[in-house]
């Protein structure tokens, strides 16, 4: 028996692990894997609730995870998340909204321009 774990990104598969089975009759079973605890955790943590009700709902999820051994690696983070209040979460959301306009901003060009300005700052003085 051979188990191959892959994320499918195409309907055309290249599976060199199956070479020994070429020419034989085999059964191939595809089973979708449930998301890893890590993925579930970070997906929820990234979400910043926009209402007090949604915030309390998220805290309820965090409290449940705090007692779940599967989430033990994240218990310290969950403890901190459970200390937050709704106003703090909204401030973070506002900060993220403020920087969304900076997507594609060329920070390197800004740095180069500053270097150029400093280098040539004294050239135009009498």
| Residue whose C-alpha is closest to residue 63's, from 90, 84, 37, 81 | 81
Which single residue is written with the structure tokens 């135009």?
A: 124
Share of the chain above pLDDT 70, in %: 94
pLDDT score for 89: 94
pLDDT at 31: 76
Using 50 as the pLDDT threshold, list the residues of the chain that sit under it: none
pTM, full prediction: 0.56
């Amino acid at each position: 028996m051979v188990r191959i774990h892959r994320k499918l990104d195409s309907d055309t598969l290249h599976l060199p692990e199956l070479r020994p089975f070429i020419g034989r009759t085999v059964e191939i079973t595809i089973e979708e894997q449930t998301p890893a605890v890590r993925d579930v955790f970070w997906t929820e943590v990234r979400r910043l609730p926009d209402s007090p009700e949604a915030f309390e709902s998220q805290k309820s999820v965090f409290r449940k995870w705090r007692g779940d051994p599967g989430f033990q690696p994240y218990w310290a983070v969950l403890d901190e998340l459970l200390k937050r209040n709704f106003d703090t979460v909204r401030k973070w959301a506002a900060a993220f909204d403020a920087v969304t306009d900076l997507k594609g901003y060329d920070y390197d060009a800004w740095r180069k321009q500053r270097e150029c300005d400093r280098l040539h700052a004294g050239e135009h003085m009498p």
